[in-house]
Amino acid sequence: MYLFPSGLRKNLHFLFFLKLTLFTFGEPFLTPNDPFIRHEIRLLSDEGGFNGLQNSWPLDLGRINLGLQESEYNSELLDNLLSDESNSGWSSIFTTIGLADDRVIARGFSSKPRSSFATNASVSWMNDRFAAKLSLNAFYGMESDWKGRADEGFALDGSYIAARLGNWSASFGQQERWWGPGWDGSLILSTNARPIPAISIDRRIAEPFETKWLSWIGPWSFHSFIGRMEEERTVPKPYLWGMRGEVKPTILGGLEIGFFRMMQLGGDGRPEGFNTWVDAFLSQDNYGANTGNNDRSKEPGNQLAGIDLRWQPFDSTFALYGQVVGEDEDKFLPNCLMFQYGIEAWTNLEDSTLRVFAEFVDLTSYWWTDDSRTRNITYGHHIYNDGYRYRGRPVGHWADQDSQILSIGVLLHQVDGIGWAAIGRIGDLNEDGIGESTVANGTTSEYFSFDILNSREYPNYNLSVSTSIGWESIEPMGRGTEDGLAGYLTLTRMF
C-alpha cells in the first residue's frame, strides 16, 4: 500500500531527480546540507521506492541509482535523468554567496553559512573510476569561538579526490559527514563543525551477503576515515579515526541499525606508533579497568562508541529512531551514556508532501555501572582538553556538554519544487554551569529558538536560493537575556 497518489509520486520523483541533475552533475556524492533532498530520499524508501541505507552521509549517488533500477519506480525518464550522474567530464562552475547571523548556536541538517559573509566557488570532474572536486571557500566576519579564536580566511572545505575500487570508494579531502537518523543533530558526527581533512573508505552499494547464513543481515555498508585535527589545541594535530557499519536486517522489516566508533589519538607530544593504534583499536586505552594500565599519561587516546537505529513498523507512515553513545568503556561495552530519541511521520497534502518530527537529546552522562558522575564528561577528555571538538564546535551535537534540548520540526515539499520548513528548539545548555562548553561556557543557559526555512530552484537562471528567518533567545543564569532575530541567505548559481 502506498501513501502517495501515483501522480503526486511521479511529480515528486521528477523534481527530485531534476534537482539532483541540476546541482550534482559530474559529482558522485550527495552532501548532507539539504533537508528537502533528504526528506525526498526518505519518502522513496519509506514508500517502497528502494531498499537502501540512508543514515550515513555523504550518500553515494550510485547507491540511489541502483536502488531505483531494482524498484517499480524505474522508468526511461528516471533512467535518463540519473544517467547524468555517471557522465564523464567536468561539471559546470558553481558559485555561492552566503549571509548569516553567525551568533546562531544551533546547526542542524541545513545549508547555513559558517560566517557572517561566506563565498564559495567549486568545480568537479569524474569518469567511470575517478572523481575530484575543488571547492574554494572564504569566510569573513566569523565570530570568535569559546576560546577566543577566530577562524576566518580561506579553506578547502568540500574538496576531495576519490577513486572507485569495485564496490568500494577511497577518497582524500574535506567532506562533510553526518552519521545517524537525527534531523536536528547527531551525537557522534554531524555538520556542526567544519569538515576535518581525512582519508576514507566507503562501501558504495549496500548489497546483502550472498550466502544463506548471512543473507538475513540484509543490505550492509561500512565507512571509515582517519583525519587530522587542527593545530590550535592543547594537544596539537591529533588524529581522529572513525568507523561505522550499517545493516538492514530482513528478520524485521523497516529496521536500520548502525554501529560506530570514534578514536582520538596521537598528536604533538603523544605516542603515535603502531602499538598505540593497535591498543586503541582493541580498547586498551583506559586507565585501570581491564587494561593493566595504571599510568594515565600512557593512555593511547579518547574514544566514543555506540549504536543508532530507525524503525518503520509494519509499513506504517511513521518511524521511531534513536542514538546512544558511550564516552567510556567497561568490559568492552560503551558506558557513560548520552541519548537521542526521535519520532517522525509523513503524509500528503494534495500537491505536496509533509514530514513532522520530534527529537530529544540528553548530553548529560548515565552509567549502566551506577557511577555517580553525570556532568562535565560528554565530549571532554583529561588529555585532549579541547575534547571532541574541531575549530570551536563539537564534532557531534551542536548543543555540546550537559545540555538537554527538545526539537520539533516540519518539512513541506511542494510539487512545484518549493520547500518550506519550520523548527523550534527549547531546553537547557550546560545544565550545571561548570565545565567547558562551546555554547554556554561556564554558565547555565535557557535556550529557545524558532526558524522558518525556504528553498527553491530557478532552473531558467541555474539558480538555487535558501533562506531562513527566526528568533533565538539565550538566558544565562544570573545575567540578562540575549535574544533577537536570526537568519541566513544562501544563493548558488551554476555557470
Tens digit of pLDDT for each residue in 371-390?
A: 888 889 999 998 898 999 99
Q: Of the ranges 183-187, 324-328, 406-410, which one carries the lowest mean pLDDT score?
A: 324-328
Q: How far apart are CA 2 and CA 322, in angstroms?
A: 25
State mean pLDDT over 351-377.
91
419-467 residue pLDDT tens = 999 999 999 999 988 888 889 888 899 999 999 999 998 888 889 999 9
For the stretch 343-355, pLDDT in tens is 999 998 888 889 9
- Beta-carbon contacts of residue 444 (< 8 Å; ≥ 6 apart): 428, 429, 430, 431, 432, 433, 476, 477
Assess whether pLDDT exceeds 70 at residue 288: no
Sequence-separated (6 or more) residues with CB below 8 Å from residue 259: 244, 245, 246, 306, 307
Tell me the HSE value of 90 on the side-chain side, using a 13 A CA sphere: 8
Q: Give one DSSP letter per residue of 369-409, joined into a string.
A: T--S--SS-TT--SSSTT-SEETTEESS-TT-TT-EEEEEE
**Hey, which residues does 57 pair with through a beta bridge?**
178
Report how far residue 473's alpha carbon sits from residue 429's, in angstroms, rounded to the nearest whole number. Answer: 12
Question: What pairs with residue 449 in β-bridges?
Answer: 425, 472
Q: Give Cβ neighbours of residue 237 (< 8 Å, ≥ 6 apart).
A: 228, 229, 230, 231, 266, 267, 268
Alpha carbons 386 and 390: distance in angstroms, whole number: 8
Phi, psi of 281, rounded to the nearest 5 degrees: -65, -35
Tell me the three cell numbers of residue 59.
550518500
Output helix, strand, coil percentages for the chain, rounded to the nearest 5.
Answer: 15, 45, 45
CA distance 321 to 181: 7
Task: Report residue 294 as a C-alpha cell.
Answer: 595504571
Look over the chain and give the mean of its residue pLDDT values, rounded to a whole number: 85
The DSSP code for 240 is E
The pLDDT, as a whole number, for residue 2 is 42
CA distance 188 to 388: 9
pLDDT surpasses 80 at 73 = no
CA 14, distance to chain mean position in Å, is 26
Report the pLDDT averaged over residues 467-495: 86
- What's residue 28's pLDDT? 82
Report the candidate in 201, 182, 202 with the shortest Cα–Cα distance to residue 192: 182
**C-beta of residue 63 within 8 angstroms of C-beta of residue 205:** yes
Q: HSE of 56 in the Cβ direction (CA atoms, 13 Å)? A: 29
Across the range 292-299, mean pLDDT stands at 61
Residue 69 has pLDDT above 80, yes or no: no
**pLDDT tens digits, residue range 104-148?**
688 899 888 988 899 999 999 988 889 999 999 999 887 777 677
Question: Residue 312 in 3-state DSSP?
Answer: coil
Distance (Å, whole) CA 11 – CA 417: 9
pLDDT at 12: 53
Taking the model in full, what pTM does it have?
A: 0.91
pLDDT for 77: 35
Confidence of residue 357 (pLDDT cuts 50, 70, 90): very high
Rounded-to-integer distance, Cα 157 and Cα 333, Å: 35
Q: What is the pLDDT of residues 243-282, one digit of tens each?
A: 999 999 988 989 999 999 999 999 998 988 888 888 888 8
Tell me if residue 459 falls in helix, strand or coil. Answer: helix
Give, in words, the CATH class of 6-494. mainly beta
Q: What are phi and psi of 273, to 5 degrees?
A: -70, 175
Q: Are 20 and 30 contacting, i.e. CB atoms less than 8 angstroms apart?
A: yes
H helices present in 84-181, as ranges: none
Q: Which three cell numbers stand for residue 239?
A: 588524529
The answer to whether the beta carbons of residues 366 and 374 sit under 8 Å apart is yes
Alpha-carbon torsion angle 117, 391, 486, 57, nearest 10: 90
Task: Give the distance from CA 342 to its chain's centroid.
Answer: 16
